[in-house]
Amino acid sequence: MIEANLSFAAEAVGGERSGADLLFSGVTIDSRTARERQLFLPIVGETFDGHAFVKDALARGCVAFFWERHRPLPEALREYPHVLVERGIDALHALATAYRAQCHARVIGITGSNGKTTTKDMLATVLKKRFKTAATVGNLNNEFGLPLSILSWPIDTEVAILEMGMRGAGQIAALCRIAQPDIGAITLIGEAHLELLGSRRAIADAKWELIAALPSGGFAVLPEDEPLLRRAPPAGVRVTTFGESKQADVRVTDYASHGACGATFVLDPPGLIVKLKVPGIHIARNGALVYAVARELGMADEEIGEALGAYTSSAGRQALEELAPGVLLIDDAYNASPTSMARALEVLRDMPHAQKMAVLGDMREIGEPEDEKHVALGESLAAYGVTQLIAVGHHRKAIEHGARQAQLTDVQTFASAQEAAEFIAQNVCGEYTERGDIVILVKASRAVGLERVSDALRDSFAALKGE
């Protein structure tokens, strides 16, 4: 992480330093997680003002703080080392930019409508086999998380992976001005944020900002099957494509799902057989993207294939958990869009279990007509072999309507995740503990809170087993 004198920080942000020029180690914007020797940067938001928590941060061990100069500085804080700045968020960006310039790591930016975090985690798993690698923690991919991620890098980091999210045009370009990526990868263009941007073309334009920011000598990895990304890259930027078509530079072939045991596929070229612990053709496609980046960085085919086989998914992102003999949970509760729903349902379909339960909630920010898209989701379920549906959230009736149109009769609906969790705990777990043979998919946009359902399933089956 950044370790520097306060004078370095003041110069980097164009601020006015007061007090001792002491050494700080690390940066935080959250007083609740503040640690010894950190620098505290108060951020002002719509519903909070970090300046109110400077005293708390100092009490937890922070050695200095920033302060927006137009705000009166309380007398009690003036004795502590501090830097007066214009705006906290701008100062955070400037400090991260300065530290990025000091690091000699090759920086990889990853964006896309779906699959950013999964691809980032998979790439980190692979690159750590060869390089001192830093990667975005969780999905800290916005104007706050990305600079904090950079400031957390060890100075001797060789390769850094940054997830880049956005909610509007120009935001990825702004992140790139801080990160200065050498390699850029786009997973796919889907419907996430369609409500905010209005069209898939506008989404593609926003994602392309990552590629547009690459320097001469940079490297871009793009999905071959996305016409909206067939554009001329910046001068001197090389492009590799991935996908399932024969036109892709790195092609996924011979994909085979093995249910809870994962999947196998071939990367062609070079004819590399890959064994994954996590099933799904979309996971294999992510693997092709990862292969392209790792090869660009000089890793050998066998080394990449072995590392891909070590990847495991994180909680809420298609994590597979055996709750009891014959009872499998697919915990994919973190996010959802029409594209990612279809991918998750494909994984559900390919499981060998006789009973396939889908606990599904709202897909947010997917644009109008939202109800029709949720009806279409319900209509698709029978084709994926779903035998039972629990629909949760604002659009639960639309999902139910579509499912019943497709002759799915075992349907329950709940307004909230808490209600659904209570129903499942009381009615589902006991029924299947004895006979098993069921797979349960839990998926919705994050705001629905379906992680409560996943937690209820875990807790209830654990209680039945006496754990």
* Bond from prior residue into 369 cis (ω within 30 degrees of 0): yes
Q: Is 170 annotated as a binding residue?
A: no
| Rg (the chain; Cα; Å) | 24
Q: What is the pairing mode between strands 263-268 and 23-25?
A: unpaired
Q: What is the Cα–Cα distance from 258 to 262, expressed in whole angstroms?
A: 5
Strand partners, 443: 332, 360
Q: What is the Cα–Cα distance from 301 to 292, expressed in whole angstroms?
A: 10
Q: Which residue has the tokens 């708390």?
A: 56
Q: What is the Cα–Cα distance from 241 to 251, expressed in whole angstroms?
A: 8
Q: Is 240 annotated as a binding residue?
A: no
Q: Residue 438: what residue type?
A: I
Distance from the first to the final alpha carbon of the chain = 40
Q: What is the Cα–Cα distance from 39 to 63, expressed in whole angstroms?
A: 6
Q: What is the pairing mode between strands 327-332 and 438-443?
A: parallel
Judge contact between 38 and 64, C-beta under 8 A: no
Q: Is 118 annotated as a binding residue?
A: yes
Q: Is 115 annotated as a binding residue?
A: yes
Q: What's the token pair of residue 296?
A: 């660009």
Q: What's the token pair of residue 122?
A: 């998979």
Q: What are phi and psi of 243, to 5 degrees?
A: 155, -160
The length of the chain is 467
Alpha-carbon distances, residue 406 vs 340, 373, 396 (angstroms): 21, 15, 16
Q: What's the token pair of residue 315?
A: 């909680």
Q: What's the token pair of residue 26?
A: 């690390």
Q: Is 116 annotated as a binding residue?
A: yes
| Residues contacting residue 465 through CB under 8 Å, at least 6 positions apart | 324, 433
Q: Is 117 annotated as a binding residue?
A: yes
Q: What is the Cα–Cα distance from 71 to 51, expressed in whole angstroms?
A: 9
Strand partners, 361: 392
Residues making up the binding site: 112-118
Residues making up the binding site for ATP: 112-118
